[in-house]
Structure 1
Amino acid sequence: MHSRFGRIFDNDWVGPAIVCLVAVAAISIAQPSFLSPFNILVLLSAISVNMVVALGQLVIIAIGQMNLALGAFGGLVAICFVAVMELYGVPPIAAMLMGLSIGMLAGVATGFIIARTGISAFIITLAGLQIFKGINLGITEAQPFYGVPQAVKDFGNLGIFGSPIPWLVLPMIAAGLGMWYLFNRLRIGRYILAVGGNRTAAELSGINVTATIIWAYAISGALAAIAGMMLVARLQIGQPTIGDDWLISSFAAPVIGGAVLTGGHVSVSGTFFGVVIIAIITQALVLFAIDPFVVQIVLGALILWAVGINRFREIRIAKLNEAR
């Protein structure tokens, strides 16, 4: 019985899930409006977008790297998505497919350069951040696009059949299930984890490391594209600043959820609860009218907490391996 109970707590998502439940209960007691239908709608909308963003980073963390250009991918796609609808009258579905293509191509180009040159992913994605952000500003001239169709606005701001559950949860659920299936059922998902766990061993076992890295960045680019278009629907405008603030949350949520920074181990469900923790804290600070700068301090503290948890987990795993 005790061993079974202990195995439950070995799951990456259990700890963050408990934190979420305690936080929701405490904040609801202190501020009953936290669970009002409107606030639930706002909270779930934020969680939906941030979860897709976090998944875009998760797949890169799985190979032991980090995509600093994730927000620039999403921002460029968001601008292009609105621009073609406003300037050329492209239907939303066609614009969405174009946005996905742009995101994937940006990811493929980034992954190809990293895999073929051997240059640090940090350097390449940092350069990509500047390049794609520059293209974004060149297209927009630092001005927003306003031509978002009403159907897209409704998708980003209305609840499903009048409920407090936003339509935005649908792409989040699809992305979450897709990533779970990728890592647990598909060969490319196992290859990504293998490369992150031990690149040399992966090469010796016949895995094409170059192709695997390119696949990981292509998936990351597609998820960034989805998140960028979701944010356009939510904001009802094509802001050139979309994606600028993604880096901290995209990094913190997967690590809080159990991802190992050196690669080889990730948790989709744990990442979800990591996203929820960040969203709850951010929303609570707003409800209690705490100064905005405190939000930045709290997010910085979350990063340190996440890294500390990660280091503790690595030490624990190393001790367990030694005991065996």
Structure 2
Amino acid sequence: MKSSFLFRLTKADWFGPLLAVLITIVVIRSFSPNFLSAFNIQILLLAIAINVLIAFSQMIIIAIGQMNLSVGAIGGLSAVAFAGMVEVWGVPAPYAAIAALLAGMACGVANGVLISVTGISAFVITLATLSIYKGINLGITRAQPFYGIPDSVRELGTATVIGPVPMLLLPTLIAAGLLWFLLARLPAGRFILAVGGNEHAASLSGISVRRTVILAHAISGVLAASAGMLLVARLQIGQPSIGDDWLILSFAAPVIGGAVLAGGHVSVAATFLGVVIVALITQALVLFSIDPFLVQVVLGSLILAAVGVNRLRQVRLTGGRT
């Protein structure tokens, strides 16, 4: 009975990433005794709080077998829209946040509609909308940041819940719970995975592929917008460059978490742990005074390694057939 439970545990999507997280912590701790100080833990959790939402915004698109190159542009546009509304128009922060989320959703819906109606690859459509959304961002800001962030938002970016645990982590945990519930318990989540697994079969079974694709992109837009606004609270400035460096990270964490790029299989918990792995490695490079540009090399290497492992797993499951 116990051995059967352990066997099932090792087969869980999140087991491998969790083991990698624990090993990484032990290794870094052995070289840097101050690694688990309260300050470093807070910095680590702040990065995780935002990066998890970025990863989720790409993960939900990978679930339907597509990709969203405009994740960063949507997050950046929503961030400056939020900051601009509170500074220029004096809109209360809660209302500005709702409007920014709706803007992110609208961008996502636009992606989904264009992909569904035209039949053009999501790669091409989101590459084009990336440029459009970034152009709107620069048009709004004139490439200048918004500094008039209200005190309530600034306090959110620096406040802690318990000890070094930042307040910014709470919205991320709520989003993770809701996303897990969607994919595991709701028909809409099953439709998303079904479309990613086999679009033709999903259509024959009565699932509206067009609506499902639009829904997935709308959720992606909301998650990207959430990440952008949390980053505004953390940086305490509406920077027009927000989102410019999100693309690699958005793919790295889901892939490390075992997501199948062809669609049909993703894991919320494993993607969360994939973000933790990336954050731990990034933090270690900073602690050891290693060139920060090496982070991009590490992320690319992690993606290649994760894709290789997933490919080997697929070959084993299919008995060597490709």
TM range (shorter): over 0.9
Mapping of 1:136-175 within 5 angstroms?
136-160=137-161, 163-175=163-175
Give yes or no for contact 1:74–1:227 (8 Å, CA) kept in 2. yes
Mapping of 1:165-314 within 5 angstroms?
165-314=165-314
Q: Is structure 2 residue 32 aligned with structure 1 residue 31?
A: yes
SS of 1:138's partner is: helix
Once the two structures are TM-superposed, the CA of residue 319 in structure 1 deviates from its matched residue by 2.4
Counterpart Cα distance in 1 of 2:236 and 2:17: 32
Q: Is structure 2 residue 113 aligned with structure 1 residue 112?
A: yes
Mapping of 1:66-85 within 5 angstroms?
66-85=67-86
Counterpart Cα distance in 2 of 1:236 and 1:159: 16
SS of 2:34's partner is: helix
Once the two structures are TM-superposed, the CA of residue 3 in structure 1 deviates from its matched residue by 4.0
Give the letter for the 1:66 counterpart.
Answer: M
Percent sequence identity is: 59
Give the letter for the 1:106 counterpart.
Answer: C
Give the letter for the 1:58 counterpart.
Answer: M
Give the letter for the 1:199 counterpart.
Answer: E
Give yes or no for contact 1:256–1:309 (8 Å, CA) kept in 2. no
Give yes or no for contact 1:85–1:95 (8 Å, CA) kept in 2. yes
Give yes or no for contact 1:13–1:257 (8 Å, CA) kept in 2. yes
Give the letter for the 2:253 counterpart.
Answer: A
Which 5+ residue runs of structure 1 have no aligned equivalent? none
Counterpart Cα distance in 2 of 1:33 and 1:150: 32
Counterpart Cα distance in 1 of 2:77 and 2:298: 28
Give yes or no for contact 1:179–1:268 (8 Å, CA) kept in 2. yes
Q: Is structure 2 residue 73 aligned with structure 1 residue 97?
A: no
TM-score, with structure 1 as normaliser: 0.97
Once the two structures are TM-superposed, the CA of residue 320 in structure 1 deviates from its matched residue by 9.2
Counterpart Cα distance in 1 of 2:16 and 2:26: 16
Give yes or no for contact 1:107–1:218 (8 Å, CA) kept in 2. yes
Give yes or no for contact 1:47–1:276 (8 Å, CA) kept in 2. yes
Counterpart Cα distance in 1 of 2:194 and 2:89: 44
Counterpart Cα distance in 1 of 2:226 and 2:295: 26
Counterpart Cα distance in 2 of 1:201 and 1:12: 25
Once the two structures are TM-superposed, the CA of residue 309 in structure 1 deviates from its matched residue by 2.0
SS of 1:319's partner is: coil
Counterpart Cα distance in 2 of 1:253 and 1:275: 5
Counterpart Cα distance in 1 of 2:55 and 2:222: 12
Give yes or no for contact 2:101–2:226 (8 Å, CA) kept in 1. yes
Counterpart Cα distance in 1 of 2:313 and 2:252: 15
Counterpart Cα distance in 1 of 2:54 and 2:170: 14
List 4+ stretches of structure 1 deviating above 6 A.
Answer: none
Counterpart Cα distance in 1 of 2:178 and 2:35: 31
Give yes or no for contact 2:315–2:321 (8 Å, CA) kept in 1. no
Once the two structures are TM-superposed, the CA of residue 159 in structure 1 deviates from its matched residue by 1.2
RMSD of equivalent CA atoms: 1.4
Once the two structures are TM-superposed, the CA of residue 321 in structure 1 deviates from its matched residue by 9.7
Counterpart Cα distance in 2 of 1:316 and 1:255: 18
Counterpart Cα distance in 1 of 2:256 and 2:318: 19
Give yes or no for contact 1:144–1:239 (8 Å, CA) kept in 2. yes
Once the two structures are TM-superposed, the CA of residue 23 in structure 1 deviates from its matched residue by 0.8
Give the letter for the 1:267 counterpart.
Answer: S
CA offset digits 1:3-38 (Å, max 9, x no partner): 432221111100110110111111112112211111
CA offset digits 1:247-288 (Å, max 9, x no partner): 111101011111110000110000011000000000000011
Counterpart Cα distance in 2 of 1:317 and 1:207: 27
